[in-house]
Chain A
Amino acid sequence: MVPLYMAFLIGGLLCLLGQLIMDLTRASITPGHILVGYISGGAVLSGLGLYEPLVKIGGAGATIPLSGFGHLLTQGTLKAVEQKGLLGAFSGGVEAAAAGITAAVVFGYLAAVLFNPKG
Chain B
Amino acid sequence: MPAKKKRGAQTLVFDKPPVITSWASIAGPKEGQGPWGQDFDWSMEDYLFGEESWEKAENKMLRETVKKALNKRNFDEADAEILMAGDLLNQLVSSNYAARELGIPFLGLYGACSTMAEALLLAAILVDGEFFERVIAAACSHHYTAERQFRFPTEQGVQKTPSSQWTATAAGAVLLEPVGTGPRITAVSIGKVIDMDQKDISDMGSAMAPAAAHTIKTHFNDLNRSSDYYDLIVTGDLGKVGMAITRELFIKDGLQPEPNYSDCGVLLYDDFQEVNAGGSGCGCSACILCGPLLKKMTAGEINKLLFVATGALMSPITSFQGESIPAIAHAVAIEN
Binds B, one of A24-32, A39-47, A83-91, A99-107: A24-32
| Pick from A22, A28, A117, A118: contact of B201, CB under 8 Å | A28
User: Is residue A119 within 8 Å, beta carbon to beta carbon, of the partner chain?
Assistant: yes
Q: Which of B153, B156, B157 has the most CB of A within 10 A?
A: B156
Q: Are A119 and B47 in contact (CB under 8 A)?
A: yes
Q: How large is the interface on A (under 10, 10 to 19, 20 to 34, 35 or more residues)?
A: under 10
**Chain A contact residues, CB within 8 Å of chain B:** 22, 27-28, 30-31, 117-119
Contact flags (1/0) for B196-216 with A, using CB distance below 8 Å?
000111110000000000000
Known: A30-B152, A31-B156. 20 other contacts (CB 8 A): A22-B159, A27-B161, A27-B200, A27-B201, A27-B203, A28-B200, A28-B319, A30-B158, A31-B152, A31-B157, A31-B158, A117-B144, A117-B153, A117-B154, A118-B155, A119-B47, A119-B54, A119-B143, A119-B144, A119-B154
- Shortest Cβ-Cβ A-B pairs, 4 listed: A27-B200, A119-B144, A119-B154, A117-B154
Nearest residue (CB) in A for B29 is A119
Q: How large is the interface on B (under 10, 10 to 19, 20 to 34, 35 or more residues)?
A: 10 to 19
With A119-B47, A119-B143, A119-B144 as given contacts, are A27 and B202 in contact (CB-CB < 8 Å)? yes
B149 CB to nearest A CB, Å: 14
Q: Are A28 and B154 in contact (CB under 8 A)?
A: no
B153 CB contacts on chain A under 8 angstroms: 117
A27 CB contacts on chain B under 8 angstroms: 161, 200-203
In the assembled complex, the Cα of A119 lies from the Cα of B146 at a distance in Å of 12
A31 CB contacts on chain B under 8 angstroms: 152, 156-158
A35 CB to nearest B CB, Å: 11
